[in-house]
A = this chain, B = another copy of it.
């Protein structure tokens, strides 16, 4: 049977790129790290770390192990909180976690006082999907969910999406833009795996295929910066640009004749007990 302290040693070596530093971080002797690694490698039947004088690097197989290893450690670390039931971890995709979640968390904390210790994990939508599946988080607020077995997904919010342009853009003074005009402009893409292209197909049908994504900058903050700099236009959460639109740093437009909004889901395990704190959070979301 695999041993978590071996996994911990492996991750320490990966992070510090050295056995000695890994030992320091773990607070143990360096030969112990060597031994743990060797055992793990024998158990798995592969070399995980390429030892090098300058820096020890994971092998190809080691790289494949890393995400699984981190997941194991995070899940194991949660065991204490889970049995106590007093601490819950909420996962959220970047956009949701950044622009929508904070007020809910504040409200929940006020409701429950400090009876419940609340933690958030914000990451990309695909990472959060894995995190809820492996129980690293108790529930997840997501932009897109792929119906994995054993989980419930409920729609809890419908977020309006806005086309944004810089104040120098020809459309800056307009309130809306025609579909065909929109398609002519290349768009700046944000976070991957959030289902935005699926949403566009849903709204515009086949003609959505005409949309060109000129750049993909990975995060909404980066999208906003790129649009402000006049690099192009984009489509983002209304909540994400509320501030900039009010202060005139960005201009938000709708698409004439279309209502573009994204359904947001809360996802949790089917077997989440109804009296768990996490379940109360879900009810708060879905009701109000």
* CB-defined contacts of A2 to chain B, threshold 8 Å: 4, 76, 79
Nearest to A269 among chain B residues (CB) is B67
CA of A80 to CA of B3, assembled, Å: 13
With A65-B82, A75-B68, A135-B68 as given contacts, are A4 and B1 in contact (CB-CB < 8 Å)?
A: yes
Does A61 reach chain B (CB closer than 8 Å)?
yes
A271 touches B67 (CB 8 A): yes
Contact indicator per residue, chain A 60-90, by CB within 8 Å of chain B (1) or not (0): 1111111111011001101110111100000
A contact residues vs B (CB 8 Å cutoff): 1-5, 8, 44-46, 48, 60-69, 71-72, 75-76, 78-80, 82-85, 133-135, 269, 271, 273, 276
CB of A125, distance to nearest CB on chain B (Å):
20
* CB-defined contacts of A85 to chain B, threshold 8 Å: 60-61, 64
With A1-B5, A4-B1, A4-B4 as given contacts, are A83 and B67 in contact (CB-CB < 8 Å)?
A: no
Interface centre among A66, A76, A134 (most CB of B within 10 A): A76
* CB-defined contacts of A71 to chain B, threshold 8 Å: 75, 133-135
A82 touches B68 (CB 8 A): yes
What are 18 of the A-B contact pairs (CB < 8 Å)? Answer: A1-B8, A2-B4, A2-B79, A3-B4, A44-B83, A45-B273, A46-B83, A46-B84, A60-B85, A61-B84, A61-B85, A64-B273, A64-B276, A65-B79, A68-B75, A68-B78, A68-B82, A71-B135
Extra 20 A-B pairs, beta carbons < 8 Å, given A64-B85, A64-B273: A1-B5, A1-B8, A2-B4, A45-B80, A45-B84, A46-B83, A46-B84, A61-B83, A61-B84, A64-B276, A65-B82, A67-B269, A68-B75, A68-B79, A68-B82, A68-B135, A71-B133, A72-B75, A75-B75, A75-B134
Nearest to A46 among chain B residues (CB) is B83
CA of A83 to CA of B48, assembled, Å: 9
* CB-defined contacts of A82 to chain B, threshold 8 Å: 64-65, 68
CB of A110, distance to nearest CB on chain B (Å):
12
CA of A243 to CA of B264, assembled, Å: 45
Nearest to A114 among chain B residues (CB) is B149
CB of A174, distance to nearest CB on chain B (Å):
49
CA of A62 to CA of B273, assembled, Å: 12
Nearest to A1 among chain B residues (CB) is B5
CA of A63 to CA of B63, assembled, Å: 34
* CB-defined contacts of A75 to chain B, threshold 8 Å: 68, 71-72, 75, 134
CA of A63 to CA of B8, assembled, Å: 26
CA of A63 to CA of B274, assembled, Å: 12
Nearest to A59 among chain B residues (CB) is B83
CA of A78 to CA of B130, assembled, Å: 14
